[in-house]
Structure formats: structure tokens, C-alpha cells
């Protein structure tokens, strides 16, 4: 059923790096919700696997002294959804990962695996893009941290060099403090379906709640990798909290997104949906921030 050449179990990050260096063709496996399916389908026949699932140090969410939210790469979707820090500081991330698959997948699937797959439809990815997340990578040369926008190279490929593994996802205080957000997943079914389009919006309102101080919007399935719609972001900054701002913000996303035709949805349909859900997510983010649209 599963054509696996060898399975090596790492009990520490250091041991994982050593095993990956010793076996350069090996594939990292965490929860296995993607890798095992691919092996069963014959796409990774004869694979060598390095399991990092036993590295408890890579699990959990914590708030660091400088206000950075640190999410261990082995943290499950269910854990993130229920975590008190996530609920208090960035609840939209919990809402986004709560849309991944069914309960069984959310219990076993990890946020590190979701992002390391490099697929544009990952429900966590667009929200992490909108939070300006930083990816922590550990390898033979030590630890490096890169913006999530640089982590994604192309469809299905991320910036992991030989011997490296993702060890954490960091959201700096400046990226979340004062912001409220909302995520919308558009799919053919309400549950256990891959997104036809995903949209995550964060806004930061002025103290009197009448002006958009900052806005971020990111998409999944609007291009080969998750992406930010920077034209829309610039359109909203400094603008009043009103319906005209919402409409112009939503329309501007077409300057940045690059959806394609597929059997799931046509390009033109995805563009239409992108505008609609951008406006809805922006509106909800403003309301959550205490704004009232005039």
C-alpha cells in the first residue's frame, strides 16, 4: 500500500538536520496528511522519510518578550484554532485553519506542512501573508528567517535548502498590534473542499475609527503561489471608512491577481469572486475593528 524505502525518526531538531544531511533525497514527514496520500498514489514511490513528528519542541504557540507570536511548525490546525493567544491577538488565523479539511485532518495536519507544501490553495498561507509572517528555517548552517513572501518560490516549491527544515512561523508585534482581520474561503462545498479562492484582509483603523491607517490583503489560488494585492492596499491607506473606499479597494485587486482557468473555476469567474470577497472581507475587518461604514 505504501512504497517506503526507509523511515528515520528524529527526536530533536539537531537530529533531524543530521538525518536530512545524511540522506539528501529524504522527504520530511510530519502529520503525513499530504505525504502519505502522495505515496499511496505512487507519486513518491520508494521514498525515504525523515519523521519530525516526535519533536515536541516544535509544537505550540507562545508570545515572546518582544510581542512576537511564535507558532511551532508542528502545531496542529486544531491546536491553533483553540489557542488562547491566537483567539486574543489574531483570531482570523484560527478561523482560516478551521476551514482546512475535516476534524481528523485538522487534528493531525500541521501548519508547517501546510506552508511547506508550497501550494497556493493552503488555507493558512494567505492569512500568514496578510500578517507579514516570518518563516524560521533551521539547517546545517544554523537558523535563518525570511519573509513568507520570499519562502514561496513557485508552485509546489519553497525555499528549503538541503538539510533544512522549517521550525517556526513568527508574526512580529508590529504586524498584528492594532489590526483586525477576516478570511473568506470560496469553495464549491462548505466542508472538506479545496478553495477555489481564498482571501484574507487585515485593517488598522485610526483612533477615531474613521480612517484606514493600513490595510493588507492576500489571496490563495489567485496565482501560482499565494500573493498580496499591493495595489488594493495602497488604494485604501489614508482613506475614510466608507463604502466608496470599500468599492475602490476591491476593484483594485484586479491589478495584482493572476488566476487561471481550471476545471474548478474559470479565470473570469475567479476574478469576479476575488472582487466580491475582497469587499466583504474588508468590510468585516473594519467592523471587527470598531469602524462603521458610511
**Confidence at 72, pLDDT banded by 50, 70, 90:** very high
Residues 269 and 189 in one domain: yes
pTM here is 0.93
Q: Give Cβ neighbours of residue 14 (< 8 Å, ≥ 6 apart).
A: none
Residues 8 and 84 in one domain: no
Residue at which a domain ends, from 12, 29, 51? 51
Q: Give the domain CATH number at 249.
A: 3.30.390.50
* Domain residue limits at 11: 4-51
Residues 38 and 67 in one domain: no
pLDDT of residue 189: 63
Residue 293 lies in a domain: no
Residue 39 has pLDDT above 90, yes or no: no
Residues 20 and 47 in one domain: yes
pLDDT of residue 190: 60
Residue 294 lies in a domain: no
pLDDT tens digit sequence for 219-272:
998 889 999 999 999 999 999 999 999 999 999 999 999 877 777 778 899 899
Query: How far is the C-alpha of 76 from the C-alpha of 217, rounded, in Å?
Result: 24
Residue at which a domain ends, from 51, 70, 90? 51
Q: Give the domain CATH number at 83.
A: 3.30.465.10
Q: Which residues pair with 28 in a beta bridge?
A: 50
Q: Give Cβ neighbours of residue 224 (< 8 Å, ≥ 6 apart).
A: 120, 154, 155, 258
pLDDT tens digit sequence for 161-181:
999 999 999 999 999 999 999
Residues 224 and 253 in one domain: yes
- DSSP H/E element including 28: strand 27-29
Query: How far is the C-alpha of 197 from the C-alpha of 219, rounded, in Å?
Result: 7
Residue spans of alpha helices (H) in the chain: 13-22, 35-40, 77-82, 84-89, 91-97, 103-108, 111-116, 123-130, 148-151, 173-176, 230-236, 243-252, 267-288
Number of domains in the chain: 3
Residue 132 lies in a domain: yes
Amino acid at each position: 500500500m505504501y512504497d517506503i524505502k526507509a523511515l528515520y525518526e528524529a527526536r530533536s531538531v539537531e537530529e533531524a538536520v543530521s538525518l536530512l544531511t545524511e540522506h539528501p533525497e529524504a522527504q520530511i514527514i510530519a502529520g503525513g496528511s499530504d505525504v502519505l496520500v502522495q505515496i499511496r498514489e505512487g507519486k513518491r514511490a520508494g521514498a525515504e522519510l525523515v519523521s519530525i513528528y516526535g519533536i515536541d519542541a516544535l509544537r505550540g504557540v507562545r508570545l515572546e518578550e518582544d510581542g512576537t507570536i511564535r507558532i511551532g511548525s508542528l502545531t496542529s490546525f486544531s491546536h491553533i484554532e483553540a489557542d488562547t493567544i491566537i483567539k486574543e491577538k489574531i483570531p482570523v488565523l484560527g478561523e482560516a485553519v478551521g476551514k482546512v479539511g475535516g476534524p481528523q485532518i485538522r487534528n493531525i495536519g500541521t501548519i508547517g506542512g501546510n506552508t511547506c507544501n508550497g501550494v497556493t490553495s493552503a488555507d493558512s498561507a494567505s492569512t500568514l501573508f496578510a500578517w507579514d509572517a516570518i518563516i524560521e528555517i533551521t539547517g546545517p548552517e544554523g537558523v535563518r528567517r525570511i519573509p513568507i513572501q520570499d519562502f514561496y518560490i513557485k508552485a509546489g516549491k519553497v525555499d528549503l535548502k538541503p538539510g533544512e527544515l522549517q521550525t517556526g512561523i513568527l508574526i512580529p508585534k508590529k504586524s498584528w498590534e492594532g489590526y483586525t482581520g477576516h478570511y473568506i474561503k470560496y469553495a464549491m462545498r462548505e466542508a472538506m473542499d479545496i478553495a477555489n479562492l481564498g482571501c484574507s484582509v487585515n485593517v488598522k483603523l485610526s483612533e477615531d475609527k474613521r480612517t484606514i491607517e493600513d490595510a493588507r490583503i492576500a489571496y490563495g489560488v489567485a496565482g501560482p503561489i499565494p500573493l498580496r494585492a499591493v495595489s488594493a492596499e495602497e488604494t485604501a491607506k489614508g482613506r475614510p471608512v466608507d463604502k466608496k473606499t470599500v468599492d475602490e479597494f476591491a476593484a483594485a485587486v484586479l491589478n495584482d491577481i493572476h488566476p487561471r482557468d481550471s476545471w474548478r473555476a474559470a479565470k473570469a469567474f475567479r476574478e469576479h469572486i476575488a472582487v466580491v470577497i475582497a469587499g466583504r472581507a474588508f468590510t468585516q475587518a473594519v467592523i471587527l475593528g470598531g469602524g462603521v461604514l458610511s
